[in-house]
Chain A
Amino acid sequence: DTGVSQNPRHKITKRGQNVTFRCDPISEHNRLYWYRQTLGQGPEFLTYFQNEAQLEKSRLLSDRFSAERPKGSFSTLEIQRTEQGDSAMYLCASSLGSGRQATYEQYFGPGTRLTVT
């Protein structure tokens, strides 16, 4: 088990462009989360999936953001028409968060740092 992986690690884009990030969770984990972290702050929740179902979205997640988790495996987070305020570290985490084997702690990937110029 190699842990949670995220690609790319860094992304620089021009304002108005679309970007897509990928997260590969720990294989047996049924829950997958996306968070955003800006400098000097703790991560803020964006959305989460249980298997392939997206069960909750934060009000931070504007209409320009969309996330998918086809087949309950990897997930993608797309930002359309990027703005400078979208510049942040986007973190993915996974957990075994339900059922008898639930452990609840989330394991985080290294993050994708987005810079919008």
Chain B
Amino acid sequence: AQSVAQPEDQVNVAEGNPLTVKCTYSVSGNPYLFWYVQYPNRGLQFLLKYITGDNLVKGSYGFEAEFNKSQTSFHLKKPSALVSDSALYFCAVSSLTGGGNKLTFGTGTQLKVEL
């Protein structure tokens, strides 16, 4: 069985400061890892993914994430936060051994960026 843990329900950061949203995972086989963002009353938007290759992946809106196999982590980062980044962020994992690349999501982390 595959699982994702997002240990922080909420992360608060000042605009202009770096942000990190944490994610750890458990999966059989090689993980496929994803970050999605959800704005109120809107669907999930894909931000970035790790499938293979370079451990640092870059995505939309200046976000990046680092895959760490030994720590089974895939933390989301951004060097300089914007108020408009405030939203609900989900980490998700899938694998070929899981069948069909179905996604297992964490419970989400609410990011609040303040002026």
A94-117, CB under 8 A of B: which get 1 and which 0?
010100000011111111000000
Question: In the bound complex, do residue A31 and residue B105 qualify as a contact, i.e. CB atoms below 8 Å apart?
Answer: no
User: If A42-B105, A42-B107 touch, does A108 touch B43 (CB 8 Å cutoff)?
Assistant: yes
B82-115, CB under 8 A of A: which get 1 and which 0?
0000000010101000011111111110000000
Q: B22 an interface residue at 8 Å Cβ cutoff?
A: no
User: If A91-B44, A105-B34, A109-B43 touch, does A40 touch B100 (CB 8 Å cutoff)?
Assistant: no
- Contact-residue size bin, chain A (C-beta under 8 Å from the other chain): 20 to 34
Name B101's contact: one of A4, A31, A35, A108 (CB within 8 Å): A31
User: If A33-B102, A50-B100, A104-B94 touch, does A91 touch B43 (CB 8 Å cutoff)?
Assistant: yes
A55 to B101, CA, bound (A): 11
Question: In the bound complex, do residue A95 and residue B101 qualify as a contact, i.e. CB atoms below 8 Å apart?
Answer: yes
Question: In the bound complex, do residue A105 and residue B102 qualify as a contact, i.e. CB atoms below 8 Å apart?
Answer: no
Provide the residues of chain A in CB contact with B106, threshold 8 Å: 42
Question: In the bound complex, do residue A56 and residue B99 qualify as a contact, i.e. CB atoms below 8 Å apart?
Answer: yes
- Contact-residue size bin, chain B (C-beta under 8 Å from the other chain): 20 to 34
Provide the residues of chain A in CB contact with B90, threshold 8 Å: 42-43
A105 to B59, CA, bound (A): 12
Q: A48 an interface residue at 8 Å Cβ cutoff?
A: yes
In addition to A43-B105, A104-B94, A106-B101, 15 A-B residue pairs with Cβ atoms within 8 Å of each other are A4-B43, A31-B100, A41-B108, A42-B4, A42-B92, A42-B105, A42-B107, A43-B44, A43-B90, A45-B103, A45-B104, A55-B100, A56-B99, A104-B51, A111-B43
Closest 10 CB pairs of A and B: A42-B105, A108-B44, A110-B43, A108-B43, A45-B102, A105-B46, A48-B100, A97-B101, A105-B49, A42-B90
| Interface, chain A (partner B; CB < 8 A) | 4, 31, 33, 35, 40-45, 48, 50, 55-56, 91, 93, 95, 97, 104-111
